[in-house]
Amino acid sequence: MLDEAKYIWQDGKLVDWKDAKIHVLTHSLHYGNATFEGTRAYKTKNGLAIFRLEDHTRRLLNSAKILKLDCPYSFEEINKAHIDLLKANKDCYNSNVYIRPLIYLGYGVMGIYHVNAPVNMMIAAWNWGAYLGEDGIENGIRVKTSSFVRNSVKSLMGKAKASANYLNSQMAKYEATQCGFDEALLLDDSGFVAEGSGECIFIVRNGELITPPHDNSLESITQDSVLKIAKDLGVNVIERKITRDEIYIADEAFFTGTAAEITPIKELDFRIIGNGKRGSITKRLQDSFFDIVSGNNPKYQNFLTYIN
């Protein structure tokens, strides 16, 4: 169950959590055209700070443009709404916070043609720890290659963080967990590795960090953060296609994402990755990442929006 806060920002106003409701004939509920973000705020020595807020807001609005959702709020208004919400709920947060903005089509019309439906927006934020478990962050998770293929660019638009795209992820995640695994790995329609159900993937081979390009997947903000950190650490990075059997013989592997942060993969399809533990490069990247989000790296202070 969600750890409820006091307020949710809904259509320009702070409303009580329990009163943030929509009609059962809300268009996006029936047809799936909505876009959302996953953003985190971390506890720092200078208070709560949102990680890469502007980048998340920019991607949210880009997704809305792709999906032809004419958001009634500007870039600046959305950033301010995040800050106002966290300030209003500050007494509710006793850990790191997960933030979920959503732009969706509301009540008023039905049918496939969507442009006459009103466009609504909400932002909610609540206490949320490690998405794949604290043990997973340290010791790694077990992953299964899914029988579901990642949405093709020939049928859906992967550069949009669209709600409809995540039915694919839900089914893959369900299959993996029902088979006793922690997470799913999806291939693209050509058989190359795409991503997890909600994460990007990296592998390490011979000291080099390798990650697939964004041919058919979301442009990940956490992935971009890892690439920047790797450069700082002097780790050579290669962006190229990989296959699942290359992951089997990798020295290390890990998932990245706002929810997953940096989570090691210790096993894929019953093959142990490396020595079956979190690898040394993965740990270095993790340590640097958590140092940044905690506000302890002066170089990356521009990644943080402090809530004063």
Catalytic residues: 161
State the CB neighbour count (10 A cutoff) for residue 130.
15
If residue 216 lies in a helix (H) or strand (E), which one and from where to where?
A: none
Specify burial of residue 118 (Cβ count, 10 A radius: 0-12, 13-18, 19+).
middle
**Opening angle at CA 218, ends 216 and 224, nearest 5:** 120
Specify burial of residue 246 (Cβ count, 10 A radius: 0-12, 13-18, 19+).
middle
CA-based radius of gyration for the chain:
19
Using CA atoms of 212, 215, 221, 226 in order, give the dihedral in degrees to the nearest 10: 20
Distances (CA, A) of 306 to 44, 46, 53, 73, 82: 9, 8, 10, 22, 11
Please give the DSSP secondary-structure letter assigned to residue 298.
G
If residue 55 lies in a helix (H) or strand (E), which one and from where to where?
A: helix 53-66
- What CA–CA distance (Å, rounded) separates 12 from 68? 21
With beta carbons less than 8 A apart as the criterion, state whether 256 and 199 touch.
yes
